[in-house]
Structure 1
Amino acid sequence: MKIFCSKDALLSGVNAVQRAVSNKNPLPVLQGILIQAENQSLQFAATDLEIGIRCDVPAQVTEEGTMIVPAKLFTEVVRKLPDTTISLEERDQAITICYHQSKIVLNGYDPEEFPLLPDLIEPLSFSLPTMIFKNMIRQTIFSCAAEENRPVFNGILLQIENSTIRLVATDTHRLAYIISEITNSEETKFSGIIPSKTLSEIYRLLRDEDEDLMISYSNNQVVFQFGSIYLVSRLIEGQFPNYKQVIPQTCETKVYLAVREFLDAVERASLLSRDKSSANIVRINVENNELRIDQTTELGKISEQISVEMEGKDVRIAFNAKFLIDALKVIDSERILFELSGPFSPGVMRPSDNPNYIYLVLPVRTS
């Protein structure tokens, strides 16, 4: 195999696939990136057997072939290369990288041992604008669980029904829900739990351009295709909780307030909120069209007042400050409706101009 291409092309290829490289699997070949040269292009591929990514970049191919390069080392080498035409040549699993009058030789792996990324058999497919899906990921993914003891909470529920697409994420302490309209002429239906790692990669790779994202699925796998990227992922097995039962249909108190003002106040109060148990709690009191945050800790005191519009009962309630901050940072609206029903019931945030987004957060019981 022998090819010529630019440093930028090599860099875009390795950057696209490197996050799918396995760091834990005992198979050495999974710590590599497969590079295949054919039809005047290079195809990069990597997989950890749960997620796989392919990407095509332009190249001048003088001899077709396949090689597997050590991912971490090859990526670091490419980043240090000069901005010039680079040649890659593979002979007996040794990869020679030439530039100017210099060369680097890396030991590769046997391509025969690399697992091929699957192409789905008779998949069902639909498409939607990339910007819609990217924004949906941004407004939900932070609510996934970080711990891996209950896999269904490490993913996001993706549902397609009629002309709507829905994402739901929860770690059992909070829940983010968003729904968008799509064109679904074939009335495709789908419901599956996508690993958060997969969707964070989609978010990283999607460009802020008006192009379509194609989503295909069959059995226990889902494929995302956009631009030159092909990403395949397993679905998480298990039963996602019934989110419809969790979202309150009524509330005792409605609070209308400015997102930026509320976010700034919570962030300031949270600076003093770390007590000995490392709980980051903010205590909120709503009465007389005023929302007040009073904090007294070993570090000091803070008192924040925000003018709000309220309907219903006065309420005192406490929340994990991080859970409020995470949501307020991704809400695009200037104002929200914060629905409360006493100190022990969940609070629900809704953007004032977007009925398709809901964020639910459980309160913290304090003495």
Structure 2
Amino acid sequence: MKIYCSKDALLTGVNTVQKAVSNKNTLPVLQGILIKAENNTLIFEATDMEIGIRCSVTAQIEREGVIVLPARLFSEIVRKLPDATIEIEQRDDSINIHYYQSDIVLKGFDPDEFPLLPDLYDAVSFNLPISLFKTMIRQTVFACAVEENRPVVFTGTLLQIEGSNIRLVATDTHRLAYRISEIENPEDLKFYGVIPAKTMSEIYRLLKDEDEILTIRFNQSQISFQFGSVHLLSRLIDGQFPNYKQVIPQSCQSKVFIASKTFSDSVERASLLARDSIHANIVRLSLEKENLWIAQASEVGKISEQMDIKMEGTEVKVAFNAKFLLDVLKVIDSEEIIIELSGPYGPGIIRPIDDPNYLYLVLPVRTS
């Protein structure tokens, strides 16, 4: 291999695939990035056997070749290279990085030991606007479970395609985020699979607004996402996702209309004191006619805030984990939200006032 390319091109390739590099696998080659030079293109690949990412950049290829380089060291070297034309030449199991009058020699791994990203067999595909899918991921993926002791199905997001609808649903059993959108589905494709949260977060990170169309391909065990020069392949989580429709209340006892930012700012202030209380990060809401009170007291102090609201239904007092409220308020773009409550112990529903396609369910906290 002998190639010439810019630092920016190398940086693009490294930054795109590095999150798929395995940090835990004992196989040294999986801690590397495969680099392949062919047809005036430099291809980068990385995988941890659960997610794989491929990216291609333009380069001047004088001699084709392939090698696997240690990801962490190579990425650090690339970041510190000067803004100049970089020459990379492979010599057996090493590469020589040449710039100006300087050289860096870096040992690599045997590319024959690197597991290449497989092609999806018996796969079907459809296209989706990137801006739509980014919004759907942003409004759901944060509700996935992060604890390793939870059933693995809760660490992923359900993707469901049915008719002209696409849904993303995420839950950690304490809360649930649900988003539905309309898509073009002329072939009436159907899909029901749970995608790891890591995969969804990576897709969100890599999707660029200038890339307009996302192509999704899937079979029974894997799913791939293609956009621009990036190809991401992921396994699907094996397991039955809970029946989310069953837990979403169809009615409520109290309905509150409130400004999103006003509510978010108040919850955030109350949470500062809640962190030091015996009920960690809990804020208490009290709904009384045209007022909403947020209160919290701890050893370091107390807070009580009153907000004007519009309310329908019965008065109620309820407590929630402040983080669970703030997480959803960060992803709702509407200036006003609706909070639906079914008593002090029933699940609460938060919706944007101008978007019927999104809802967030959160369970209250029982306090003495």
Q: Same fold (TM over 0.5)?
A: yes
2:154 aligned counterpart, secondary structure: helix
Name the CA distance, whole Å, in 1 between partners of 2:105 and 2:211: 41
Name the CA distance, whole Å, in 1 between partners of 2:202 and 2:260: 28
Aligned to 2:37: 37
Percent identical across equivalent pairs?
67
Name the CA distance, whole Å, in 2 between partners of 1:100 and 1:284: 64
Aligned to 2:86: 86
2:330 aligned counterpart, secondary structure: helix
Name the CA distance, whole Å, in 2 between partners of 1:194 and 1:279: 31
Name the CA distance, whole Å, in 2 between partners of 1:296 and 1:70: 51
Q: Aligned letter for 2:212?
A: E
Q: Aligned letter for 2:274?
A: S
The TM-score normalised by the length of structure 1 is 0.99
Say if 1:131 and 1:209, in contact at 8 Å, map to a contact too: no
Aligned to 1:192: 193
Aligned to 1:357: 358
Aligned to 2:53: 53
Displacement, 1:157? 0.2
Displacement, 1:184? 1.0
Say if 2:67 and 2:111, in contact at 8 Å, map to a contact too: yes
Name the CA distance, whole Å, in 2 between partners of 1:287 and 1:323: 23
Shift in CA distance, 192/2, structure 1 to aligned 2, threshold 3 Å: same
How many matched pairs?
A: 367
Matches within 5 A, 1:1-367: 1-149=1-149, 150-209=151-210, 211-277=212-278, 279-367=280-368
1:251 aligned counterpart, secondary structure: coil
Deviations 1:214-236, CA, capped at 9 Å, x for gaps:
00001200000000000000000
Displacement, 1:162? 1.0
Name the CA distance, whole Å, in 2 between partners of 1:164 and 1:192: 15
Q: Aligned letter for 2:313?
A: G
Say if 2:277 and 2:298, in contact at 8 Å, map to a contact too: no
Say if 2:277 and 2:299, in contact at 8 Å, map to a contact too: no
C-alpha RMSD of the superposition: 0.9
Q: Aligned letter for 1:65?
A: G
Structure 2: runs of 5 or more not aligned = none
Say if 2:278 and 2:298, in contact at 8 Å, map to a contact too: no
1:330 aligned counterpart, secondary structure: coil
Deviations 1:35-62, CA, capped at 9 Å, x for gaps:
0100001000000000000000000001
1:145 aligned counterpart, secondary structure: coil
Displacement, 1:164? 1.1
Name the CA distance, whole Å, in 2 between partners of 1:366 and 1:104: 62
The TM-score normalised by the length of structure 2 is 0.98
